[in-house]
C-alpha cells in the first residue's frame, strides 16, 4: 500500500511555534510530575551514570528500535497511517534545527518520569515495567484512530524500560530515545521535502 499525501488528519495542523511550545511545556510538566512524585513517595529513582558501554548499548538500542519501526511501518497498514498522521503533525512544521529539541526534550523528560521515577516507584518488576510502558504509550495518544501508534510506542516503552532494568542506568533508555527521535525526524524530513507551487522557487 502506498501512502496517500492528500489524506489529511482529522485535526488542524499546528504551527512551528505551537509545536515547540507544546514540546517545551510537556517536558516541564513531566519533569514537575517526576519531582513531585519523588517528594511524596519514598523510593530510589534510577539515575544517569556515564559509562561507555552503556552509551554504546543505548545507541544500539536506538538503532534497533528505529529499524523495527521502519519494518513495521511497511508491514502494518494501520500503523503506517497512524504513524504518518502523528509524524506529519509533529515534524512537518519544524525546521531542521528544531529536530535537536525533538530528540532532547522528550528523550530526557519522558525517560526521567517513566523509567527514572515511575518504574522504580511502582516496582522494578514485570508489573512496573508493563504499567510504565502502557502509560508511556497512552501519553502519545492524540485520537482513538491513533491506537496502532500507541500500541507500538508502548512496546518501545517496554524495551526502554527493560534496558533500564537490566543495567540499572537511566542513560541507556535516554540515549536510545534521543537517537530514535532524531533519526525519525531526519528521515521524515528527507522523505517529505516541502512542496512548492509550480513556477515558484
What does the pLDDT average to over 65-79? 95
Q: Which DSSP letter does residue 41 get?
A: S
**Domain ranges across the chain:** 45-191
Instruction: Please provide the DSSP assignment of 82-129 as one string.
Output: HHHHHHHHHHTTS-GGGHHHHHHHHHHHHIIIIIIIIHHHH-SSHHHH
147 near 85, Cβ under 8 Å? no
pTM (2 d.p.): 0.89
Which residues, 6+ apart, have CB-to-CB distance to 194 below 8 Å?
none
pLDDT value at 101 more than 60: yes
pLDDT for 133-142, tens place per residue? 999 999 988 7
Q: What is the pLDDT confidence band of residue 5, given thresholds at 50, 70 and 90?
A: very low
pLDDT value at 1 more than 60: no
Amino acid at each position: 500500500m502506498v501512502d496517500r499525501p492528500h489524506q489529511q488528519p482529522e485535526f488542524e495542523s499546528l504551527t512551528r511555534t505551537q509545536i515547540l511550545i507544546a514540546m517545551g511545556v510537556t517536558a516541564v510538566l513531566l519533569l514537575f510530575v517526576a519531582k513531585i512524585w519523588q517528594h511524596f513517595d519514598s523510593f530510589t529513582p534510577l539515575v544517569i551514570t556515564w559509562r561507555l558501554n552503556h552509551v554504546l548499548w543505548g545507541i544500539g538500542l536506538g538503532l534497533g528500535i528505529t529499524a523495527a519501526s521502519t519494518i513495521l511501518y511497511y508491514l502494518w497498514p494501520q500503523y503506517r497511517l497512524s504513524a504518518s498522521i502523528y509524524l506529519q503533525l509533529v515534524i512537518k512544521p519544524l525546521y531542521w534545527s528544531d529536530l535537536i529539541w525533538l530528540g532532547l526534550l522528550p528523550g530526557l523528560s519522558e525517560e526521567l518520569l517513566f523509567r527514572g521515577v515511575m518504574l522504580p516507584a511502582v516496582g522494578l518488576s514485570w508489573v512496573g515495567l508493563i504499567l510504565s510502558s502502557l502509560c508511556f504509550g497512552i501519553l502519545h495518544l492524540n485520537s482513538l484512530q491513533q491506537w496502532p501508534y500507541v500500541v507500538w510506542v508502548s512496546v518501545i516503552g517496554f524495551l526502554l524500560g527493560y534496558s533500564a532494568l537490566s543495567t540499572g542506568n537511566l542513560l541507556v533508555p535516554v540515549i536510545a530515545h534521543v537517537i530514535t527521535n532524531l533519526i525519525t525526524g531526519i528521515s521524515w524530513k528527507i522523505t517529505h521535502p516541502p512542496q512548492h507551487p509550480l513556477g515558484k522557487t
